[in-house]
Amino acid sequence: MGIAIISPGRDVSIWIDNITKLDNNIEVQVYPNIIDKEKIETVLLWQHPYGILESFPNLKLVCSMGAGVDNILKDDRIPTHLPITRIVDEKLTFSMTNYVIMGVLNFHRQILRYQKDQQRRVWDMSNPEIPVCVGIMGAGELGGDVIKKLNFMGIEVAGLGHSPKKGLDYPYYDKTQIDQFLKSINVLVCMLPLTQETEGILNIDLFRKCNKGTYLINVARGKHLLEDDLLMAIDEGYISGALLDVFQKEPLPEAHPFWTKQEIMITPHIASVTNPEAASPQIVENYHRMKNNLQLLNVIDRNKGY
């Protein structure tokens, strides 16, 4: 029995090397060259063809190759009895937190302004800092680490989550209090999981509830953001600018207006990238736990979507 990796268009050789290094008894097959589907008990997925898992008669475990599982959950042909796990990795958290803090500090210290001043040879020492209160949409594992680090730096921060929480050392709002949350901040960071409820949440109605001049950072999923609405919100002054790492279509099309919109900074989905060397031990551990009917690591809740 073994593992199948289904990730069309990606070089997965590093995953194979790391998995077999940890356990050379695991047979790894790679889509589309999966010869013996009856041997497959575990699949690793990223952007898989929907419906393909129906052809594996002995499948017992589905593993995301990253922290996100939204693409997997959109495949409604995956049997409901199959557990789905995701990658939880300190290095992923480290990279994501550093990226968000970089974006916050760039806005706070107006780096783009000074880059423009340099190009124009302007020496302007006025108002060198913008006071910030950062709002994290998605105060879970990743968002919670950002909040912790910003708090440590002395930067005001608030969190927004799905359900009420008590006993936190920062202002927290649940989804019914989103209007109050938006009015308390001027940097909005989206770190939400992508679900039916959160898709398109970054829209013109939400932006018009923000304090004028709010700065947006999106490191979650491209489908959280209605891209034309962001352009409208910038033109109306509700959003002063944005740092975007994820997009509705990737790679970002060459004709997309984000490339030339001076208020928007883009990066090519690199805020936090899965490290196969760090992630493979979780895959192998869960493979063995599945074989021995033990509790799995990092199982997601299908009802919540994460």
Active site residue 221: yes
pLDDT class for 303, splitting at 50, 70, 90? confident
3-state helix, strand, coil in the chain (%, to 5): 35, 20, 45
Alpha-carbon gap, residue 302 to 227, rounded angstroms: 28
Q: What is the three-class DSSP state of 28?
A: strand
In the block, tokens 């997997």 appear at 72
Predicted confidence (pLDDT) per residue in 105-154, tens digit:
999 999 999 999 999 999 999 999 999 999 999 999 899 999 999 999 99
Predicted confidence (pLDDT) per residue in 69-86, tens digit:
999 999 999 999 999 999
Alpha-carbon gap, residue 148 to 162, rounded angstroms: 19
- Kindly tell me the number of DSSP H helices and DSSP E strands found in the chain: 9, 12
Exactly one of 48, 108, 162, 221 is catalytic; which is it? 221
pTM: 0.91
276-291 and 90-108 helices, crossing angle to 10°: 140
Domain 90-266 falls in which CATH fold? Rossmann fold (3.40.50)
How much is the pLDDT for 227?
A: 98
Say how many CA atoms lie within 13 Å of 138 toward its Cβ: 24
CATH architecture classification, 2-89+274-291: 3-Layer(aba) Sandwich (3.40)
pLDDT class for 304, splitting at 50, 70, 90? confident
How much is the pLDDT for 1?
A: 83
Predicted confidence (pLDDT) per residue in 28-72, tens digit:
999 999 999 999 999 999 999 999 999 999 999 999 999 999 999
Provide mean pLDDT across the span 204-216. Answer: 98
Residue 251 backbone dihedrals phi, psi, to 5 degrees: -60, 155
Exactly one of 113, 208, 256, 269 is catalytic; which is it? 269
- Domain residues of the chain, as ranges? 2-89+274-291, 90-266
In order of 111, 193, 260, the CA distances from 103 in angstroms are: 10, 20, 19
Provide mean pLDDT across the span 287-295. Answer: 97
Question: Over 90: is that where the pLDDT of 104 sits?
Answer: yes
Q: 2-89+274-291 and 90-266: same fold?
A: yes
Alpha-carbon gap, residue 4 to 104, rounded angstroms: 40
**Residue 202 DSSP one-character state:** B
Structure tokens at 306: 């994460």
Provide mean pLDDT across the span 189-199. Answer: 95
Question: Over 90: is that where the pLDDT of 179 sits?
Answer: yes
Give the residue from 192, 71, 216, 69 showing the smallest Cα distance to 134: 216
**Adjacent-strand bridge partners of 176:** none
Quick one: which H or E segment has residue 230? helix 227-236
Active site residue 288: no
